[in-house]
Amino acid sequence: MKITKNEWSVLTLALNYDDRESQLSDNFSNCDMDMMKAMGWSEYKIGGVVSQLQQKELGHLEDKAETRMMAGGCPIRAKNQRFHLSEAGVNYLFDIYEQTGDWTYPDWDKLYKGQPPRPNQAARKEPTQEE
Residues β-bridged to residue 83? 31, 61
| Residue 91: partners with Cβ closer than 8 Å, 6 or more residues away | 20, 24, 119, 120, 123, 124
CA distance 81 to 102: 28
Q: Quick one: 101 exposed, middle or buried, by C-beta within 10 A (0-12, 13-18, 19+)?
A: exposed
Residues 6+ apart with CB under 8 A from 17: 23, 26
pTM: 0.74
Which residue type, as a one-letter code, is found at position 38?
A
Report the topology of domain 5-112: Arc Repressor Mutant, subunit A (1.10.10)
CA gap 67, 117 in Å, rounded: 33
Give the model's pLDDT for residue 124. Answer: 45
What was the pLDDT predicted at 26? 81
Q: What is the pLDDT of residues 79-108, one digit of tens each?
A: 567 888 999 999 999 999 998 888 999 888
Every domain of the chain and the residues it spans: 5-112
How many contiguous H segments (helices) and E segments (strands) does the chain have?
7, 3
> pLDDT tens digit string along 3-23?
999 999 999 999 989 899 999
pLDDT of residue 122: 41
Indicate whether 46 pLDDT > 60: yes
Average pLDDT over the chain, rounded to an integer: 78
Q: In what order do the strands lie in the sheet with 59-61?
A: 31-32, 82-85, 59-61
